[in-house]
Structure 1
Amino acid sequence: MLTLIRGANLYTPSPQGQMDVLIAGSKVIDFRTEIKLESNTEVKIIDGRGNILVPGFVDSLVHITGGGGEAGFTSRTPEMNLTDATLAGITTVIAALGTDSSSRTLTNLVAKAKGLKELGLNVFCHTGSYHLPAKTLTGSITNDLMYIDEFIGVGEVAISDHRSSQPTVQQLAELAAEAKVAGMLSAKKGTVSIHVGPVNSHLAILHEVDKNTDISLSQFYPTHMNRNKALLDAGILFCEAGGTIDFTTSTTEYDLAHGEYAAAQALAYCLTHNVKPTQLTMSSDGHASLPIFDEQFNLLGLEIGKEASLLGAFQQAIRQYEVSIEHALMAITTNPANVLGIKKGTISKGSDADLVLLDSNTLAPQHVWSNGIHMVEHGFAIIKGAFE
């Protein structure tokens, strides 16, 4: 089956103007101003005129198997469904465990990832969780990255948080060193995803690793950097030293009222403070538990992360904070793909056919393809999981 998308305003994520884009199987095989086909092969024509065609979104932190709730067993969050991602334009997710690595396991994580992959979604995983020493599937980080296709890095390891294992500089350095070498041996990046909590130490321990060892800041990928202005400013310094930072799009009204920046606002803030657009990303923290703590870390409430918040933050960045389409797209396509070392987030000849056709007025996904599979058509999911 060939699919021809005609006349869309193409972003790769850089703007290319009005283009025809041709998909064959799982690949983009051509795009140009006009594609003429002379063939008796069946071709599906999609009218993209007046709409925007962009790469499929890359969500760099999703709890696809759900998270452990901080209010006991009844607050464990549910698993992600396929359409939680695809209806929001997400074609690639990076899955991780969080606070709970006891009732939530790496075996379950990989099994869930394989199931979503069978449906056509791109899924990668991190080994480990919040706590050190890192739990692994095979007995070591090295073996997990080398012999299990889905594993590409480690995380999310918690720092500056009362729920972390209070890791030392040496522990983090050893973890990052093993992940880096394992990545080299398996042709993966071996990135260490870092959960950053609200404690005022911020990113100090990562700078200590960089200062006192041979591990550079680029090996770490800190998320939740929009918790408050002080952490956001610490993130700018981290970028100036060569790192990349991530903003979480799922949030609560309580947190926003108590100093958290919306992800779109944080993105715009950093851009206006001369951070390079390539150093900024956004992720949903989908299906994580979102605990609400007071200043003494007493639990006040609990909500759940939503993958659709990534789409909402992208829209908000453009409409409310006047971020360019290109820079907003980079934060959810090429940038997370590059920091994680995966070949996703771009549209080029020969690239995987992960595409989203957006309504130019609402920026809502009208059509979504993942690996060339038509997942969403005219805003409705046409591929669903077995139990949706």
Structure 2
Amino acid sequence: MYLISGAECFDPSPRGQVDVLVAGGQVIAIVEPGTLNVDAEQIDARGKILVPGLVDALTHPCGGGGEGGFGNRTAEIDVETFVRAGVSAPVGALGTDSIGRSLDVLYGNVMGMRTQGLNAFMLSGAYRVPAPSLTGDIARDIYLVAPVVGVGEVAIADHRGTQPTAQELRRLAAETQLGGILGGEGGTVLVHVGAGDSRLALLREAIEGSDLAPSVLYPTHVNRSTALLDEAADWALRGGFVDITVSTTKELIAAGDITAEQALRRLLEAGAPAEKITMSSDAGGSLPVYVDGELVGLTAASPGSLSDLLRALFADHADLFPLALAAMTRNPASALRLNAAGEIREGTRADLLLLDPAHGVDSLMCGGNWLLRHGEYLN
């Protein structure tokens, strides 16, 4: 049992200072400071911020890239990297390469993360349509294979995708949703949106005239351009979720990428409901490195981009902090229909993150167990 006291709590909504009692892997009580007298280890969290463990809706734990050949593949991401980033619930996916990297390998990677304490999930499928699967059937994957909660990232508006039709995307969404309905969790198609001029047109065409809700198709990388971001605001107003990619580079920003902070503000100013906006790191995805305008290599996106953004917002843009935090916790859990992630509530799994306003991630608890204490990795 642990009694965490003295922290400023966001559940992810602001709660002020509260005491949080954890036992048996769950949050047992959230009370006014000093009102509990229990035989538990006392955690003095004064000066810290207590938030839910981060839900990173798009990561590539097996590595990403590969579009330029075998030499352009990024490395696998280990558990410690996610833990030090404050991510308790990474959602793993393949990407462009579902040949050199398979769903079997991704499954093993995700199950390994679960064994080491993380509340990890995965997506079946990849860029390609028809989508590859573990069992030969997308709905069966989601219904029967525990860590699988959806399909993705399926590529549209991108020359690297297989150019699916609206009917193909609609059928995939229906199969994915069915798996989630039967399994009681998951059932969303995460959609990679490339730089093509069609942007979200295929999503609109797939939903129009169907019985599907927009929320079953979940576009990511929507801050790739202002035009795409404006279409994303409309998608959110229709009831869909939209995902901002936090990891970027100065070269990508110069080419049109919008920073996560600016993208969040623009979506809100366009009327997009805050609860429909999410943020992910695209961890393991390949990012270009240029020297004097020449491509000299690739680096990998980091899950730490999420907690880095939170610390910066808390310091300089406090109005955005709770909105960005919800976009990294409650909202992606809702978008992916995850039952045990994204909030601090009585009776829920104890995935808790302590942030130091000056230094970032201080401690991370997953399922009631400390994986990181005061910067020391405990696994």
The answer to whether the 8 Å contact 1:281/1:335 transfers is yes
Do structure 1's residue 36 and structure 2's residue 36 form an aligned pair?
yes
**1:37-74 residue CA offsets vs partner (Å, 9 max, x unmatched):** 354xxx32211122211111100001011124222112
Match of residue 185 from structure 2: 188
1:74 and 1:112 map into 2 onto residues whose CA distance is: 21
Map residues 203-352 of structure 1 onto 2, 5 A cutoff.
203-291=200-288, 301-343=297-339, 344-352=341-349
Name the counterpart of 1:108. 105
Question: Superposition pairs for residues 141-160 of structure 1, below 5 Å?
Answer: 141-160=138-157
- Which sits farther off after the overlay, 275-284 or 305-314? 305-314
CA distance in 2, matches of 1:363, 1:10: 17
CA distance in 2, matches of 1:155, 1:95: 9
Q: For residue 149 of structure 2, what is the amino acid of its counterpart?
A: I
Matches within 5 A, 1:19-58: 19-33=18-32, 34-39=34-39, 43-58=40-55
Kindly provide the CA deviation profile for residues 296-355 of structure 1, in whole angstroms up to 9, marking residues without a partner as x.
xx9875331111111122233444455433212100000000011112110111111100
Asked whether the equivalents of residues 368 and 376 of structure 1 are also in contact (C-alpha less than 8 Å), the reply is yes
State how far apart, in whole Å, the 2-side matches of 1:320 and 1:159 are. 36
Indicate conservation of the 8 Å contact 1:145/1:152, yes or no: yes
Rounded Cα–Cα distance in structure 2 between residues aligned with 1:193 and 1:15: 29
Q: Which moved more, 1:156-165 or 1:214-223?
A: 214-223
**How far did residue 214 of structure 1 move?**
2.1
Structure 1 window deviating more from structure 2 (305-314 vs 88-97): it is 305-314
Paired amino acid for 1:202 = R
Displacement of 1:212: 3.0
Whether contact under 8 Å (1:292, 1:300) holds in the other structure is yes
Task: State how far apart, in whole Å, the 2-side matches of 1:126 and 1:9 are.
Answer: 34
The 8 Å contact of residues 234 and 272 in structure 2, kept in 1 or not, is answered as no
Does structure 1 residue 132 correspond to structure 2 residue 146? no
Q: 1:55 to 1:329 in 2, by over 3 A?
A: same
1:130, 1:209 → 2: CA distance? 17
| Rounded Cα–Cα distance in structure 2 between residues aligned with 1:323 and 1:269 | 14
**Are 1:17 and 2:13 counterparts?**
no
The amino acid across from 1:354 in the alignment is D
The one-letter code of the counterpart of 2:372 is V
Aligned residue in 1 for 2:366 = 370
| CA RMSD across the alignment | 1.8
What one-letter code is carried by the residue in structure 2 that aligns with 1:20? D
TM-score in terms of structure 2 length: 0.94
Whole-Å separation in 2 of the counterparts to 1:49 and 1:317:
20
Distance 1:155 1:79 in 2: 18
Deviation, 1:149, is: 0.6
Check conservation: 1:245, 1:279, Cα contact below 8 A.
yes
When structure 1 is superposed on structure 2, of 64-73 and 215-224 the one drifting more is 64-73
Between the aligned partners of 1:129 and 1:292, the Cα distance in structure 2 is: 25
Instruction: Report the count of equivalent residues.
Output: 374
Asked if the contact 1:268–1:317 (Cα under 8 Å) also holds between the matched residues in 2, the reply is no
Stretch of structure 1 that moved more, 277-286 or 29-38: 29-38
C-alpha deviation, 1:16, in angstroms: 1.4
Structure 1 residue identity aligned to 2:201: A
Task: Name the counterpart of 1:386.
Answer: none
In the other structure, the counterpart of 2:119 is 122
Q: What per-residue deviation string (whole Å, max 9, x for no partner) do you get for residues 194-253 of structure 1?
A: 000011110000001111322221111100001111111111111121111001111122
| Amino acid aligned to 1:36 | L
Measured in 2, the distance between the counterparts of 1:9 and 1:68 equals 39
**Which one is further off, 312-321 or 204-213?**
312-321
**Kept after mapping to 2: 8 A contact 1:246/1:280:** yes
Match of 1:165, SS?
coil
Which structure 2 residue ranges, 5 or more long, are not aligned? none
**C-alpha separation between the residues in 2 aligned to 1:358 and 1:324?**
16
2:67 maps to 1:84: no
Deviation at 1:286, TM superposition (A): 0.3
The code of the aligned residue for 2:333 comes to: A
| 2:66 match | 69
Shift of 1:178: 0.8
Amino acid at match of 1:254: E
CA contact (8 A) 1:252 1:303 kept: no
Cα distance, 1:291 vs. partner?
A: 4.9
Q: CA deviation at 1:112?
A: 0.7
SS at match of 2:136: coil
Question: How far apart in 2 are the matches of 1:128 and 1:292?
Answer: 28
Distance 1:71 1:362 in 2: 39
Structure 2: distance between partners of 1:212 and 1:371: 42
